[in-house]
Every structure is written in structure tokens, then in C-alpha cells.
Amino acid sequence: MTLLKKLTEFPQSSLYWLIYIIGGLALLAVALVYQYVFEELPCVVCIQIRLWTALLVIVATLGLILRQQLWPSMAAQLGVVLIAAGLIERSYLLLGTEKGFVFGGCGFDVGLPSWFAIDQWLPRLFQVETSCGYTPELLFGVTMAESLMVLSVALAIVSISVFIASLIKRKFN
């Protein structure tokens, strides 16, 4: 079986979408453990990353439900690619703020429209509580910002590969 065939069949399996769902929920759980157990308060960029991660869980859930339908499945795959791009951008900003190669203001406003006040609806998950500057160390000297950057790039590589393979398959079938 060729790599292309494996990549095109993967999004039709429940495993593909469950990996994203479980991975996203695990990231949110880790963030909440660090917030409420280790008292590492989230900054605005951290909350924005949580929002992207929650969106990943939602889109992956839709992808799981609609995986056997061509266009909804392709839309969910494209959604994951776009979410990966958003996560890379926010993770880069967080890492750059932490390491000092990105300079900018970091306030307490999540930047969402007033009709989508999720920080007020679910404050225990999405409320900004500190300014940007550093992220906690996870394991072996690796910070949360560094690990988020690596995970975001890995998500992008996998999701882009699967999406392009699916496009190629559709074009030649």
C-alpha cells in the first residue's frame, strides 16, 4: 500500500479524528492542571491558543461524524489545516514573547467580538488572568511555549499531508 493511499484513507477512519479530539482535550486538560493545580495563570495568548484548541476539538468531532461524506470530510480536513495555521501563529507569538524575539503589547482583552463573550460565559476556561512574558517548564527544561510550537507544526505537517493527498486522490479519481 502506497503512502498516498494510506494518507487518503486515514481521514475516513475514526482513529484519525479521535487522535485530534483526544489530543485537543488533553492539551486543554494540561492547561487547566497548570492553571488550577500549579497556579500558572493564563495570558491572553494562552487563552487564544485554548480557543484554537477548542475549535480543533469541535471540527474534529464534526469530521468524525461526517468522515464518510466526501465534501463535509474535506471541509473538516481543511478546517484542521487552518486551525493548525492559527495555532502556529499564536504559538510563535507566545514563544517569541517568552524568548524575547517578538516584542508587543499583551493586555487582558481576548480580542473577541461582544456577541462571542466566551471569556464571560466560561471564565474558568477562557478568562485572561495575567500578562504575557513566560510559560511554565513542562519536562526536561522544555517550556509550554516550546512544546506548543512543536505540536502545532506537527499538526500542520500531518493535516496538510492528509489534505493534499485527499485532493490528489479526488483529482485522479
Model confidence over 133-166: pLDDT tens digits?
888 888 899 999 999 999 999 999 999 999 998 8
User: How far does Cα 28 stand from its chain's mean position?
Assistant: 10
Measure Cα distances from 33 to 8, 27, 54, 105, 154 in Å: 36, 10, 16, 26, 23
- Quote the cell numbers at residue 50: 485554548
pLDDT greater than 90 at residue 10 = no
User: What pLDDT score does 173 carry?
Assistant: 58
Class of domain 7-104+137-172: mainly alpha
Per-residue pLDDT tens over the stretch 57-110: 999 999 999 998 989 999 999 999 999 999 999 999 999 988 888 876 677 778
The DSSP element (H or E) to which 143 belongs, if any, is: strand 142-143
- Which stretches within 10-143 are classed as H helix? 14-36, 44-65, 70-99, 118-121, 123-126
Stretch among 3-17, 22-36, 132-146 having the lowest mean pLDDT: 3-17
Q: What predicted TM-score, i.e. pTM, was given to this entire model? A: 0.91
pLDDT band at 171 (very low <50, low <70, confident <90, very high): low
User: What pLDDT score does 172 carry?
Assistant: 62
User: What pLDDT score does 1 carry?
Assistant: 52
pLDDT greater than 90 at residue 9 = no
User: What pLDDT score does 107 carry?
Assistant: 75
DSSP 3-state of 70: helix
User: What pLDDT score does 6 carry?
Assistant: 74
